[in-house]
Structures are given as C-alpha cells and as structure tokens.
C-alpha cells in the first residue's frame, strides 16, 4: 500500500491587487503518494505554478494562502501542516525535504559564482557538511546527472553552459539533500525537443533510484501520458479532473480534457486531410468573476445548470471529475 507523503486540503491562494482580487487557486485538494510522479496540467492562469509556490510557502505580497488551507507533509509517523510553519521552520523543509526545479535554469543560478559551489550549496545550508564536503558531494552529483567532464564543468560559470546542461545542474542541485519530493515546474518548456527527452529520462532515472516523489507541472498533456502515474487537470484555479495518467488520456471524462486532447496537433495530421479541433473562446482572465462551471462558456455540453452553479467534484473508481454531465 502506498502511503500519502503530501496531502493538500482546500488550498486557496488569493492575490489582492490594487484594482481587484484574483483567486489563483480555489480550494484545491490532492495528495501525493510516495514513489509517485504526479502531473499537474493547466494553461496560463490555471493556478498550477501558484499551487506549487503555495506548497513551498513562496507566495509574496499581495498574494496570500488563506489560513484554512492545509498542506500536510508526512514527517516520521505524523503529518505537519506547512501552512502553519514559521518562515524559519519552512527553511528547513525547502531544498531539504522538498526541492524545486524551474523552467528557466539560467535564471536560477547566480551568474557570478562557479556552478560547482552552487550545486552543493544546500548541503551546507542545511548543516550537512562543510564547504569542502559540499563541493565533493557536488562533483558526485554532477556525475550522477551524467554531465561529461564533471570536474571541469564544476569550474564553469552558468553562462558557459547550454540550457540542457544547466537543467541537469539544477536537477543535481535539487537532489543534493535527497528530498522526498521534487517539484518540477515546466522543467522542459524552455528546452529543445531532443533535450527535453533527455531531461525527462534523467528525472525518471533519478526517481527510480532514490524513490522520491515528483510533482511535474506542465502545460503539455502529450508529455505526461507514459511519464507520470497520475494527472491533475486544472482550469482557472479549479481542479477539473484527476486520475491515473493512462486512464485520463485514453478515457477523458471532463469535456475540457476531451477538447484539449483533440486540439493538440499530432504528427501524421496533414493540411487538407485532417482538421484540427479548435476550442472556441479563451481562458478566463485572472480575477474575472466566474459563475457556474469555469469551462461552461467554451464547453460543447454546456447546459443551463452549468452556467448557474459550479459543479462539485464527483469521486468514483479512483477518478475525480468536476462536471454535471460526467456520469449522465
């Protein structure tokens, strides 16, 4: 039986802007099991990145994680609520029990320092060794993420590296303290397709080796089918569908998921022969007041009910779906 390592309950994050309030994440609940890769999928404004920043307690003014939100992290045989931790206690979690990698690796390294020192930094910060120990560990980590000539490359500065190599460096940095959870926020979006495949391979390999759990955030549904165990689909800050990756892709239940799958161009579709399905309308603006189902305006199956009230999540057979018509 897999145990839940992270449980998020009713996470609501709201931004208080000068001219309006924006609820970026709206009472989102999900859990992450050990040894699991969970994909969070959404478009701009879906709240996928805010979710992960909320977990890490990295939401700054004017944003706020509402106090009733619970982010429970398994610690020994009990759970601690990250939302109630002080900044100081949270520093012991970040980079240590939960690590993050980002879309832009070049923006995550200090351009003025050599990479070797930066990769092992978290070991030193978390009191797991001296500067020399950290550097030695860093060299080992670079080897583990398959950086050729790792001893030489450790002496390099960030600008001397290609995007793919930097992303490897960032993964090495994130793995330094053997975290239980790795949050990967669009780690391959800025990379070329060939490099993307390499980085995904590396993540999968490390996950198998260390047994950590990964929250994989992306906008690309095609990427996650065989890479992830479970998928969460977000739209306008709300969970739309959740389930095992393969099931969701092969048998989508929410109209949004269905439409999304049909609108992604596949190799083997040609002009004049095939017509790509286009979802009408646009993603709701941040802060736009939505009555009813957030997807109602673009939905092919929309009824009067959908416009009036927001459907609740129906949980059945290990799948969750927020739609009135899912089982009818």
Partner 1 sequence: MKHSIPYLKFRRKKLGMLCFWILVVMYLSFIFEGFLAPYQPNTKFKSKSYQPPHAIHMFHDGKFIGPFVYEYEMANPFYKKYRTDRTVLHKLSLFVKGDDYRLFGLIPARTHLFGTTDGEPVFLLGADRLGRDMLSRIICGAKISLTIGFVSILTALLGGILIGGISGYIGGMTDWSIMRFCEVIILLPTFYFFLFLRSILPADITPAQKFFYITLILAIPSWAGSARGIRNWVLSLKNADYVTSARLSGRKPIAILLKHIIPQIRSILILDITLSVPGVILGEAGLSFLNLGITEPSVSWGMLMSAAMDINVLRQYPWVLWPAFVIILTVFCFFTLGYSLKDAFDPKAL
Partner 2 sequence: MLTVKDLVKHYPLKAGRFSTSADKIHALNGVSFTLGKKQTLGIVGESGCGKSTLAKTILGIQNPDSGSITLEPKETKMQYIFQDPYLSLNPKMQVKDIITEPLLAAKMITKSEIPDEAEHLLELVGLPKDWGSKYPHEFSGGQRQRICIGRAISSRPGIVICDEPVSSLDVSIQSQILNLLLELQDKLEISYIFIAHNIAVVLYMSDTVSVMYAGYIVESAPPQELYANPMHPYTKLLLSVVPEIGKNKRIFEQKITGEVPDLIHMEAGCPFYSRCPVHKEICRKANPQLKPGEKNDHSCACWLYQ
The residues binding partner 1 (CB under 8 A) are 18-19, 61-62
The DSSP result for 103-133, as a single string, is S-HHHHS-TTS-HHHHHTHHHHHTTSS-HHH
* Region at 45 (left for phi over 0; alpha for psi -120 to 50; beta for the rest): left
> Tokens standing for 149?
């000539």
Give whichever of 63 and 244 is closer to partner 1, judged by the CB atom: 63
Q: How many CB atoms lie within 10 A of CB 242?
A: 24
Task: Establish if 266 lies at the interface with partner 2 (CB under 8 A).
Answer: yes
**Nearest 5°: CA angle at 192, between 190 and 197?**
105
Helix, strand, or coil (residue 93): helix
**What residues does 183 pair with on adjacent strands?**
100, 215
| Selected binder of partner 2 within 44, 75, 155, 251 (CB under 8 A) | 44
Q: How far is CA 228 from CA 58, 128, 216, in A?
A: 25, 31, 8
Q: Among partner 2, partner 1, none, what binds residue 305 when CB lies within 5 to 8 Å by partner kind?
A: none
Q: Among partner 1, partner 2, none, what binds residue 19 when CB lies within 5 to 8 Å by partner kind?
A: partner 1
Minimum distance between the CB of residue 163 and partner 2, rounded to whole angstroms?
Answer: 8
Give whichever of 18 and 312 is closer to partner 1, judged by the CB atom: 18
Number of residues that bind partner 2 (CB under 8 A): 50
Phi, psi (deg, nearest 5) at residue 87: -60, -40
Task: Establish if 249 lies at the interface with partner 2 (CB under 8 A).
Answer: yes
Give whichever of 63 and 117 is closer to partner 1, judged by the CB atom: 63
Residues at the site binding partner 2, with contacts judged by CB under 8 A: 43-44, 162-165, 192-198, 200-201, 203-204, 219-223, 225-227, 249-250, 259-261, 263-271, 274-280, 282-283, 285, 298
């Amino acid at each position: 039986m897999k145990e839940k390592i992270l449980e998020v309950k009713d996470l609501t994050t709201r931004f208080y802007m000068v001219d309006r309030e924006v609820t970026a994440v709206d009472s989102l609940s999900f859990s992450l099991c050990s040894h699991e890769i969970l994909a969070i999928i959404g478009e701009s404004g879906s709240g996928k990145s805010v979710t992960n920043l909320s977990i890490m307690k990295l939401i700054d003014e004017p944003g706020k994680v509402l106090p009733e939100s619970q982010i429970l992290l398994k610690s020994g045989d009990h759970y601690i609520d990250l939302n109630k931790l002080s900044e100081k206690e949270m520093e012991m979690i970040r980079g240590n029990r939960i690590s993050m990698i980002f879309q832009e690796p070049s923006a995550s390294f200090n351009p003025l320092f050599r990479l070797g020192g930066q990769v092992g930094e978290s070991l030193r910060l978390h009191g797991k060794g001296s500067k020399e120990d950290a550097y030695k560990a860093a060299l080992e980590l670079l080897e583990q993420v398959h950086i050729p000539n790792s001893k030489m490359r450790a002496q390099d500065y960030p600008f001397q590296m290609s995007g793919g190599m930097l992303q490897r460096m960032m993964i090495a940095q994130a793995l330094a303290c053997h975290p239980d959870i790795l949050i990967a926020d669009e780690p391959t979006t800025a990379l070329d397709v060939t490099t993307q495949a390499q980085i995904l391979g590396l993540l999968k390999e490390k996950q198998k080796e260390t047994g950590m759990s990964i929250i994989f955030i992306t906008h690309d549904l095609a990427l996650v089918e065989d890479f992830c165990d479970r998928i969460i689909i977000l739209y306008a800050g709300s969970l739309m569908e959740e389930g095992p990756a393969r099931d969701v892709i092969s048998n989508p239940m929410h109209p949004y998921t269905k439409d999304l799958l049909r609108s992604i161009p596949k190799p083997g579709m040609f002009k004049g022969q095939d017509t790509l399905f286009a979802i009408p309308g646009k993603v709701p603006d941040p802060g736009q007041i939505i009555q009813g189902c957030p997807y109602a305006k673009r939905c092919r199956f929309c009824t009067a009910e959908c416009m009036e009230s927001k459907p609740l999540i129906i949980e059945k057979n290990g799948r969750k779906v927020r739609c009135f018509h899912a089982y009818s």
